[in-house]
Amino acid sequence: MKKLAFTILTLLFLAGCTPSGTSPITGTPRSRTMDVPTIVGVPTGGIDDNTPIRVPTLHTVASNTRGVFEPKQGIYLAAWLTSCTNKRDFEQLTNRGHAAFVYEMHVDDDIPITWLLQCIAMLSTPIFIVNPPQDEDPDMTLWEQITCLAQRIGAFNLPMFVAFYPPGHGIIPAEYSIIFRYARAMFLHYAPQVAFVWVAPGLDSTHRNPFFPGHDAVDWVGVPLFAQRDRDGFTIDIMERFAPFYHTFQAFHPIMVLPLGVSNFTREGHSHHIDEAAEEIARIYNALASFPRVGLVAYGDAFGLIPTRRDDFSITIEPALIAAYKQAITNQHFVSTLERDSQQSTRFARSRFDALLWDGSIYVDTATLAEMAITVPRVTLEIGDRTFTDASRLAGVNASFCEEHHAVILNNR
Residue 265 forms beta bridges with which residues?
272, 312
The average pLDDT across 264-293 equals: 90
The average pLDDT across 175-197 equals: 98
Check residue 412 and give its pLDDT. 80
pLDDT, one tens digit per residue, over 305-321 is 666 567 888 999 899 99
Check residue 407 and give its pLDDT. 95
Query: Any idea which of 44-53, 74-83, 195-204 has the lowest mean pLDDT?
Result: 44-53
* Alpha-carbon span 358 to 37, nearest angstrom: 12
Closest-CA residue to 34 (of 385, 388, 383, 390): 383
* Alpha-carbon span 397 to 413, nearest angstrom: 5
Instruction: Spell out the residues 6+ positions from residue 145 whose beta carbon is closer than 8 angstroms to its own.
Output: 107, 108, 133, 137
Q: What would the DSSP string read from start to end of 179-221?
A: HHHHHHHHHHHH-TTEEEEEEPSSTT--TTSTT---GGG-SEE
Closest-CA residue to 145 (of 118, 199, 182, 117): 182
Using DSSP's 3-state secondary structure scheme, residue 66 falls into coil
DSSP state of 165: S
pTM recorded for the entire structure: 0.86
Backbone torsions φ then ψ of 186, nearest 5 degrees: -65, -40
pLDDT above 50 (res 20):
no
Q: How confident is the model at residue 15 (pLDDT cuts 50, 70, 90)?
A: very low
Across 268-324, the runs of DSSP E, i.e. the strands, are 271-272, 294-301
Check residue 36 and give its pLDDT. 58
Check residue 315 and give its pLDDT. 93
Q: How confident is the model at residue 189 (pLDDT cuts 50, 70, 90)?
A: very high
Cα separation values, 315 from 83, 299, 324, Å: 15, 9, 9
